[in-house]
Amino acid sequence: MRDIVFDHAIRPLKDQLELFPQILPASEAKILYQRVEDNFVRSPPMNERAMVLGDCWTGAILVGTIEDDPTVGVIDWEFASIGRGVDGDMAQFLAHLQLFQLAASWHEQSNQHRALEILTGELTTAYRRQSITEGAKWVREGKPAADSLQARMMRSAFLGCAAEMINCAFWKVWPCESPSCGTPHPTEQEGCKLIQQMVERAVWYLRLAGGDETEFVREENWLATQADGYIRRLFQE
């Protein structure tokens, strides 16, 4: 199964990145792709592992319609295992929510965008709070040391989130008839300005991840990561 995921969800990323020379040159696309591949193939030690769904995305979460006491259900457990939690399941789930927010902004759907903001904020806060309750050692305030568990897992989460964003920019159907994309609207996905925004945001994560944890926590880079309202909130207030 790991090989299947690699072939269908990791290996295509390099070619996808190279479709956007206006965002990054081919030479950088190769470097950024290699960061994703290296992170995917590495074997995380036991202190990084958790019980995971294995394919956590918005389609796997069902929410009931009773306002005062909604029922929440999680489906599709066929990939469940001991694996990556905060930098796997959660990074993947937040990638989907972030793409939906970008799409809501693009279509000027302010109510939907606000609802997604609230959902993301409550989700990340609850996850971090529960992690603290369970004594997770990767939840720490302040800039982590380069050789720390938190730096390694946060960087991994940046890379995992970015990979999922790029994949879903192509896998999902994102309706767009904006004249800014040209008339008629381009048939190639990479010609859509909305999808370009999605890939550009993913590239931002890949760049901030740095070549290793030392680059990731370098002062200027670490300060830049504070602009992220998704992944960092799983680790820090």
Q: Summarize pLDDT for 29-50 with one digit per residue, the tens.
A: 999 999 999 999 999 999 999 9
Q: What is the pLDDT of residue 64?
A: 85
Residues 124 and 109: beta-carbon distance below 8 Å = no
Q: What is the pLDDT of residue 177?
A: 87
pTM of the predicted model, to two decimals? 0.95
Q: Is the C-alpha dihedral spanning 213, 227, 116, 190 positive or negative?
A: negative
Q: What are phi and psi of 72, to 5 degrees?
A: -115, 130
| pLDDT 10s digits, 168-186 | 999 999 999 899 999 999 9
What does each C-alpha distance from 69 to 60, 62, 63 come to in angstroms? 20, 14, 10
- Number of domains observed in the structure of the chain: 1
Q: Which residue has the tokens 């989907």?
A: 96
Q: What is the pLDDT of residue 109?
A: 96
Residue segments in the chain with a per-residue pLDDT below the cut of 70: none
CATH number, residue 164? 3.90.1200
Domain that holds residue 143: 2-235
Q: What is the pLDDT of residue 154?
A: 97
Polymer length in residues for the chain: 237
Q: What are phi and psi of 82, to 5 degrees?
A: -90, 115
Q: What is the pLDDT of residue 97?
A: 97
Residue ranges of E strands in 19-173: 49-52, 61-63, 72-74, 81-84
Helix axes 110-133, 90-106, angle to 10 degrees: 160
Q: What are phi and psi of 100, to 5 degrees?
A: -65, -35
